[in-house]
Amino acid sequence: MITIDVEDEKKEIIRRYRRLLRRAKPFLKEGDSKIIRKAFNTALEAHKDMRRRTGEPYIYHPLDVALIAIDEIGLGTTSIVAALLHDVVEDTDLEISDVERNFGPKVAKIIDGLTKISGVFEQGTSEQAENFRKMLLTLSDDVRVILIKLADRLHNMRTLASMPQNKQLKVASETMYIYAPLAHRLGLYAIKTELEDLWLKYTETDQYDEISKKIVDTKEARDKFVNRFIRPIRKELKDQSLQFEIKGRTKSIYSIWNKMRKQNIPFEEVYDLFAVRIILDSEPENEKADCWKVYSIVTDFYQPNPDRLRDWISTPKGNGYESLHTTVMSSPGQWVEVQIRTRRMDEIAEKGYAAHWKYKDNSGNGQSSGLELWISGVREMLEQSDSTAIEFVDDFRSNLFHEEVFVFTPKGELKTLPYGATALDFAFEIHTEIGARCLGAKVNQRLVPLNHLLKNGDQVEVLTSKKQKPSEDWLRFVVTSKARSKIKDALKEERKAAAREGKEIVKRKLRQMKLKLNNETVEQLRAYFDERTVLDFYYKVGKGVIEPKEIKHFKEVRSNIPKDPNQRIEDAASFKKQIAKVRQKQSDMLLIGEDMDVVDYRLAKCCNPIPGDEVFGFVTVNEGIKIHRTSCPNAPELLSNYGYRVVKAKWSSQMDNAFLTDLKIIGTDRVGLINDVTNIISGELKVNMRAMAIATDQGIFEGKITLYVQDTGHLEVMIRKLQKVNGVVKVTRIDTLK
């Protein structure tokens, strides 16, 4: 039992509040500190009886969120007020009208955007997706909603340790699915990186710990290397009397982990563990010239790789990122990335939108930034889209990751599209009608089809026809959410029209058969034709797939149709059953290996879990429960969108089943090598091999072996033994299907 000293706690709260004020002080205007104090007192009073899971007073959370808003995002007074109040409407008796009365409509609007939608959700919708969509809807009014939400999420991730494990997984997955990409798109690199690292910490704890330890262990050697590398550059920059700062920056734990996994290499083989960053204090009008001057100095000492030059100064990234990157060869024969940028660019890179805003007036270039274009694009998409929340989040998400291509209209106007955009995307970008009627295009005077991939600098002229209309397969080659949602809208409209026609046909037919068109009859018709929804049924009639004479036949078998309308929701019923079975056993944990007879489960093919992996169960419609690894590439989507289908799972300790896994072996070819490898597997270790494929090319062999193992421990022993075989260079587990 912990005893709480109320007096001490009060002092601590005041201390934290004063710290907040101190950080805000440089930008406070008259009256600001008064309104901040009022917000603080309101939040303190509203949350007074609440504690966080850590046992600390709840008010620490809004205070910390406000601090993140100042220090890490660079936001101002309105945001501090909103951050302090961000949980009061959702969690306390205060209402949005109270906030509006006391703090004005601006703050109230932000708080409203941050308050979750409550209530019951239809089957198949996702509460998370709905809430996310609602939050984005307010983006058109105020981007601060998203920024404060990110601060809130960052603090929740920092304090995730006090949550129960299944909750940790859900929060971490949501973060990875939406919030980290969002932070990236808004140019908040520091926050994005921390969110990704925390995700890894809670989903692959061992690997996270191992990588962080290795980073610490290798620090000294790395520092030495960096110092030797920058010495001549530093001297020359000084001689040319440039004001600057040089840092060696290590890659994030997550990006190292990601690289190791993607390229199937150990930590020691990640060659670009760090980058060198040169930050210049430069006058606005000299920024570009100064950066290139530094580039020229760096490449005087070290040979650059011409393929790795990135100039985001002449053309900044869509999220506002500006920097000059080059990769050069250092003297011990190792490639080193050098990032060159000014102080202003660096602040934008770290703090994103808010810093951008701050510099906007004195940056000298009047063009509206890519970020503002992006925000207005999101706004447009929100206004147009009537897709379901999950569809919407998916579309939105797919747009977050893309880098851009720059293309031109016939008149030379610049259009920015996401990487991978096609001529059809371009057509929709010009105008919805032009997109819908698009027949093809001329790219640099050459005739190309709709799905032609655009490249930087292309000049595009759209060709249209009045007879053209959107079709389903267009969705396969557009990447912009604008084109996607417009095509979907058109298809839905066409579908609705066909369904309307179908309904008329059904009505006429039933009248002839002397049957009434009511819910019951229609439901029976749907069941009879085995359609998923009534609309599907009408649509097929309208399109002539179901012929009127078949409806006649329905009357004859009508008496045999079950009347229970609930039976049609197969999904709901079948997975409720599965979940109920797990619950029956008093615990809601699925024990893999013991529950086989009670619960129908299978191991997911996408990530091939074996005992020892961290896993969760996911209830599917037709195939029972699927077991996925928590690090499965599909996990973030499943966990964040369909949390209600997730079942906790762990391996039972008394497993003696065997599991299929794939190993990749690379080595130098020699006579008898394959024999040695197979001897170890089936002879010495008594493991069953199911398949083996070996390719040799100029003395190098690469093999994939599929075999049965008991658990991760067993697998490790085997990998170690195989690695000792003469000629074998590397053995790795292939953990995702690519």
Nearest distance from residue 173's CB to Mn ion, in Å?
Answer: 18
The β-bridge relationship of strands 324-329 and 310-311 is: antiparallel
Tell me if residue 649 falls in helix, strand or coil: strand
Contacts of 454-458 with C-beta under 8 Å, sequence gap 24+, read: 454/405, 454/407, 454/417, 454/421, 454/422, 454/423, 454/425, 454/426, 455/405, 455/407, 456/405, 456/406, 456/407, 457/406, 457/407, 457/408, 458/405, 458/407, 458/408
How many Å apart are CA 642 and CA 126, to the nearest integer? 6
Nearest distance from residue 94's CB to Mn ion, in Å?
Answer: 14
Gyration radius of the chain's alpha carbons: 30
The residue to which tokens 């209830």 are assigned: 619
Residue number, 86 or 626, with CB nearest to Mn ion: 86
Residue number, 72 or 87, with CB nearest to Mn ion: 87
Q: Say which of 9, 71, 91, 236 is annotated catalytic.
A: 91
Of the candidate spans 131-139, 151-159, 235-243, 266-274, the one that interacts with Mn ion by CB under 5 A turns out to be: 151-159
The β-bridge relationship of strands 414-418 and 303-304 is: unpaired
Of the candidate spans 35-43, 85-93, 583-591, 672-680, the one that interacts with Mn ion by CB under 5 A turns out to be: 85-93
Tell me the C-alpha to C-alpha distance, in Å, between residue 529 and each of 503, 551, 560, 626.
Answer: 15, 9, 13, 30
| 64 lies in the site for Mn ion, by CB under 5 A | no
CB neighbour burial string for 153-182, b if at least 16 within 10 angstroms, e if fewer: bbbbbebbeebeebebbbbbbbbbbbbbbb
- Binding to Mn ion in span 154-173, by CB under 5 A: none
| 174 lies in the site for Mn ion, by CB under 5 A | no
Residue number, 82 or 375, with CB nearest to Mn ion: 82
Among 639, 631, 641, CA closest to 167: 639
Write the CB contacts of 665 (distance below 8 Å, at least 6 apart in sequence): 677, 701, 702, 703, 704, 705, 722, 728, 730, 731
Of the candidate spans 69-77, 147-155, 484-492, 709-717, the one that interacts with Mn ion by CB under 5 A turns out to be: 147-155
Select from 32, 64, 72, 87 the one that contacts Mn ion (CB under 5 A).
87
Residue number, 87 or 347, with CB nearest to Mn ion: 87
Residue number, 162 or 512, with CB nearest to Mn ion: 162
| 152 lies in the site for Mn ion, by CB under 5 A | yes
How many Å apart are CA 353 and CA 321, to the nearest integer? 10
Note if 300 is an active site residue: no
Q: Say which of 90, 300, 547, 588 is annotated catalytic.
A: 90
Nearest distance from residue 108's CB to Mn ion, in Å?
Answer: 17
Cβ-based neighbour number of residue 455 at 10 Å: 13
Provide the β-strand partners of residue 626: 602, 618
Note if 91 is an active site residue: yes
Nearest distance from residue 252's CB to Mn ion, in Å?
Answer: 25
Nearest distance from residue 719's CB to Mn ion, in Å?
Answer: 44
The residue nearest Mn ion at its CB is 152
Residue number, 87 or 287, with CB nearest to Mn ion: 87
Residue number, 149 or 259, with CB nearest to Mn ion: 149
Nearest distance from residue 32's CB to Mn ion, in Å?
Answer: 23
Q: How many residues bind Mn ion (CB under 5 A)?
A: 2
Nearest distance from residue 115's CB to Mn ion, in Å?
Answer: 10
Site string for Mn ion, 335-374 (x = CB under 5 A): ----------------------------------------
Q: What residues make contact with Mn ion under the rule CB under 5 A?
A: 87, 152
Residues noted as catalytic: 90-91
